[in-house]
Amino acid sequence: MLGILPALAALIVLVAFRLGRAVFGAAALWLIAGPGWALLAISLWLLLRWTVPIRLGILLGAVMLWGWPWIAGLLLAAPRPFLMVPGYVSTQIARIRHPRPPWHHGPPARA
């Protein structure tokens, strides 16, 4: 029972973070671009699961309303590419340290 509580807490925090970002993105679009664009972004997000307008609202809101640098706003709007960088770097280092063996291709196998 106690093993499930940290996982449940992490899930609740993740859901709250994602919903908070969506609300902030919609509110920022409402203030910056007007209610029409904000309602369109919310509709696209809910109906088609297309998150680009909401993420654009998060970026614009963080930069224009909060005064953050654009890289911090981008990190808030789309954190996944930044989280993938360490894995990409370690993959490239592993390719250098452990190159693939050179295979000598023989004649094709006959059936």
Domain limits, the chain:
4-97
pLDDT for residue 104 is more than 80: no
Please give the biggest Cα pair distance in the chain: 70
Closest CA to 44 of 22, 75, 17: 22
pLDDT digits (tens, 9 = 90+) for 59-81: 999 999 999 999 999 999 998 98
pTM of the complete model:
0.71
Integer Cα distance of 86 and 73 in angstroms: 20
Nearest 5°: CA angle at 83, between 31 and 70? 35
Closest CA to 20 of 63, 99, 92, 76: 76
Note the pLDDT of residue 102. 78
Q: Which conformational region is residue 36 in: left (phi greater than 0), alpha (psi within -120 to 50 degrees), or beta?
A: alpha
Q: Yes or no: say if 45 and 53 are a contact pair by the CB < 8 Å rule.
A: yes
Tokens of residue 31, six digits: 């203030």
